[in-house]
Copies of this chain bind each other. A is one copy, B any other.
Amino acid sequence: MEKFKLYDAEYKFTSIIWDNEPINSTKLVRLCADKLGWKKSTTYTVLKKLCDRGILQNQDAVVTALVKREDVQKYESNTVVEKSFDGSLPKFLTAFLDERKITEKEAEELKKIIEEAVK
């Protein structure tokens, strides 16, 4: 699943694409200049790298994503739980919610998500 590993800059960049795909490459250059402060060549360099890795696609100046945001998110969530929490979701939740208060409504939403996962 190393396919879904995105570094910080790559993630921000890919996010822009997810939000705007399909997007013309020149427009993407402008967007990145705007949102990330990148020069044209930077955008093309990163774009090419991600295309080579099979994460993005650039065909006839139209850029699209080959992997879904959800897949990367899934990878991210699993990675952090594994790496920092012994693979334990309860440990993760405990750490995240420590000193953090949520409303009844938010709690309901979370519980619903959990119940959906019960086999």
Interfacial residues, chain A to chain B (CB-CB below 8 A): 11, 70, 72-74, 76-78, 80-81, 83-85, 89-98, 100-104, 106-107, 109-111, 113-119
Contact = CB atoms under 8 A, between A and B. Distances in A.
Given A89-B96, A100-B117, A103-B118, 20 more contacts: A11-B84, A73-B91, A73-B92, A73-B95, A77-B85, A77-B92, A89-B110, A90-B109, A90-B113, A93-B110, A93-B113, A93-B114, A94-B113, A97-B113, A97-B116, A97-B117, A101-B119, A107-B115, A111-B111, A111-B114
**5 A-B pairs with least C-beta separation:** A101-B119, A77-B96, A97-B117, A73-B95, A80-B80
A97 B72 CA distance: 14
Contacts of A90: 106, 109-110, 113
Contacts of A72: 84
* Complex copy number for this chain: 2
A77 B102 contact: no
A99 B104 CA distance: 26
